[in-house]
Amino acid sequence: MDSIDIKREENENTINFSDYGIDIDISVSYSFCQSMNESAAEKLNKLVDKDKDDLINSTQELVRIKSVSGEPEEGAPFGEGPALALDKALEIARSLGFNTTNLDGYIGYAEYGQGPDYVGVLAHVDVVAEGDGWKYPPYGAEIHDGKMYGRGTIDDKGPAMAAIYALKAVRDSNLSLTKRVRVIFGSDEETGTADVEHYLDIEAPPVSGFTPDANFPAIYAEKGILTFDLARNLTTKPSDMRIMRILFKKNLTALQGGIAYNIVPDEASAEIITRTPYLVVAACRNFAKETGYNLTAEVANGTVSINSVGLAAHGSVPYKGKNAVMQLFAFLGTLPLISSDMKDAIDFINAKIDMETDGNHLAWLWRMSLPETSH
């Protein structure tokens, strides 16, 4: 569940905004920032405190927009939600007195300062689908016990708002800058970064920058992502014990996993028709006990329903999750299924993917399939 702590923690020399999904440290120690004196830090402290309530309200406004990637529309290349969130972020920036630019609905920015070069602060306002299991509404931006709950509070709407308000504090302090500072609001970070490609087709790249989308002190790059589909025609079907359909999310009847490419799936289920349903139930119980996987099975009208529960995690850190789909496949691989395309697909996935999170076996297959080249 996404949440941010909305209180500000402070010590003698440092302002720590862990509450906004990033840590912004303003230190008066000459070992870290020799050009900043104590009076400048105190001025920024006061300016940040003055805008605290506005920052919280702006973050709530943005979080309340469901900005999951959808079907392209005119002026909204990634769907209505991301476009609305981009418009809202730029609207907030304009209300703070910044000049803003919207690049065809793909991406936009707010800017402060003078000069030919600029420093980029790359945030994004799109989010991954919310999934299930929320204690509070995922797009409610409700505050409970000093924390704001909602999809995007940490990744990356809270940090985006923290960045624009930080730039406002710098502007209002009249501190001199040697370069322009541009806070960039992307809208396709979660599904492919076509927004950044469009940006670079139009705008010059920054001379330096960071993204407030991870840990302190600064992130200067993001991992790449490879997405692909494994497809198999299920033409040969078993006649005795057979998997009728795999349901990875409620009401879905196709062989697919999770809700997004970059989230470890936390739910999976299968339905099996067999003459000996209670043997399957017993086998599931024993397998769950041996492996520690959260697997359950029940019988209804001669059909065995198997449910697998895992733990969702971001695709950048898949080892922090538990893949419910692979837990289910691991169990299905132990059953005496009659030969079929479905069984072959299960065996292949178990052999070549299993619980790996680094793609080692698949990478080996790709290397084996590449033609030899001369140098």
Q: Which is it for strands 118-124 and 180-186: parallel, antiparallel or unpaired?
A: parallel
Residue with tokens 């209002």: 172
Q: Which is it for strands 242-247 and 147-149: parallel, antiparallel or unpaired?
A: unpaired
SS3 call for 169: helix
Rg of the chain over Cα atoms, rounded to whole angstroms, equals 25
Q: H/E element holding 159?
A: helix 157-172
* Catalytic one of 19, 23, 126, 155: 126
d(CA 305, CA 308): 10
**Number of residues that make up the chain:** 375
For residue 356, indicate whether it is catalytic: no
Handedness of CA 81, 86, 91, 92 (dihedral sign): positive
Residue with tokens 């909204």: 76
* Catalytic one of 2, 130, 156, 189: 189
For residue 189, indicate whether it is catalytic: yes
Per the CB < 8 A criterion, the answer to whether 86 and 160 are in contact is no
The residues that are catalytic are 126, 189
